[in-house]
Chains A and B, each alone.
Chain A
């Protein structure tokens, strides 16, 4: 287990479309561990929502993952799972994809921030 002891930091995992995954893998975040479990998932138009959800939950369970990157479009599909995850580790980051720019009103944490306010008789 010399390999294992050499590992210090934690991983960044990616759930995203082809271009997002290729990009981050080129950046060097990808890893396939001894059990042949990759830390990335390529979602295409044939991928079912349940597959994304399973993969996301699997990443949440792994203790060597510190950040989960997920395209905001796919995050929308499994919003209930993401909203349910509130512990700071692993951090779930919703990243924009090539054809969908970042939308602040969809981000889980910003929605939580907005929920702190209860608007009443506003000035129009």
Chain B
């Protein structure tokens, strides 16, 4: 299983008995209920009177409340700066997390709009002097569930391919590293005639290409333009040929340089990278192929 991006960013709250008990006790005062909350209540054995209207999600006002900063400052002015409770975080039992990771959480959750609804209902009830409970007293006993990653099984084909590529790369690195240590490996493959011919061929072709295109450019300037627009003076033809050849030479030169540079890079790069870190990670190295 592989973790993938979080899709559902909603904060969820697992309701406690206390919260549901209170709602069950106050149900005659509740004229309306959000759909999700009603579902949770019914599932846990609290009957809902028929007269209760079920609200759809979009009917609930869900706006970030304004915080009265001045009041907060006033109320907490005489408190010392609380060092936030680091210990409390450490107390979070680790096994619980493991458990949550292995199996997706099931059960009933309250979402943000349910909480907004609860808040407004509690304000109303307090004004009517029915109860004197605050939202925070209810939700403190609940469990906050953070948005979770979706678990996605990894495609086994892809996994196999990645594994193979990784092994190949490690094998190659290992070869480069041990080439001048292991006598049996020293001569392959650079010293065989075929290899040398091949690499010479590659470079010769690159250079021949360069010469050929420059020559073709000159020929075009010297003969081609003359053929197209009538007879031209000899000196001018040479000049034209040289100019065309130069332009082509410049362009070719860029590509040639780039190609040779790349060729160098491929040869040098691993050396440069491993210069100060000869240690290789803990991954088990592939066995070197023996040539006897």
Contacts and interface: CB of A to CB of B under 8 A. Distances in A.
A and B: direct contact (Cβ < 8 Å)?
A: yes
Contacts of B100: 105
B144 interface: yes
Contacts of B146: 104-105, 110, 114
B8 to A, nearest CB: 11
Contacts of A83: 86, 89-90
Given A100-B3, A121-B16, A114 B92 contact: yes
A117 to B, nearest CB: 5
Interface residues of B, number: 38
B85 A115 contact: yes
B6 A104 contact: yes
Nearest to A110: B146
Interface string B123-148: 00000000000000001111110111
B92 A123 contact: no
Contacts of B16: 119-123
Contacts of B84: 86, 112
A119 B142 contact: yes
A103 interface: yes
Interface string A94-112: 0000001111110000111
Interface of A: 45-46, 83-84, 86, 100-105, 110-124
24 contacts: A45-B281, A46-B279, A46-B281, A101-B3, A102-B149, A103-B149, A104-B149, A105-B148, A111-B89, A111-B92, A114-B92, A115-B88, A115-B89, A117-B141, A117-B143, A117-B144, A118-B140, A119-B14, A119-B142, A120-B18, A121-B16, A122-B17, A123-B15, A123-B17
